Amino acid sequence: MFTFYEYPKCNTCRRAKAELQELGVDFVAVDITVDTPKAEQLKEWIENSTYTIKNFFNTSGQVYRALGLKDKIDSLSIDEAASLLASDGMLVKRPVLVKDNQVLQLGHRKSYAELLEK
């Protein structure tokens, strides 16, 4: 079973969700602003993925800019990053597709059909 973390008003999330539905993928959709992953979970995702800490942040978001994270992000520890991400779901790059607590994809960079073939 897949978990799809989304912000329902995000067009990228809508397109990604529609693609999953079109592919017949069984998933649970979670509004990341209502049910933000906990710091421990985010830390595990960061540690067990090929993504960098910066990849987990919505770097074009208002919250990211308001907190001035552009100048701080490279010096954040995994614990600090996970704590920050857990503090506000709008900081998390979305959508996030997860299976068995492993992040398969952040954002919607490539087709899910291509990703799920592997």
The Cα 32–Cα 57 span in angstroms is 13
Looking at the 3D structure of the chain, how many domains does it have?
1
CATH of the domain at 72: 3.40.30.10
pLDDT digits (tens, 9 = 90+) for 73-111: 999 999 999 999 999 999 999 999 999 999 999 998 888
User: What is the domain extent for residue 51?
Assistant: 2-117
For the segment 86-96, what is each residue's pLDDT rounded down to a tens digit? Answer: 999 999 999 99
Identity of the residue numbered 84: L
Q: What is the pTM of this model?
A: 0.93
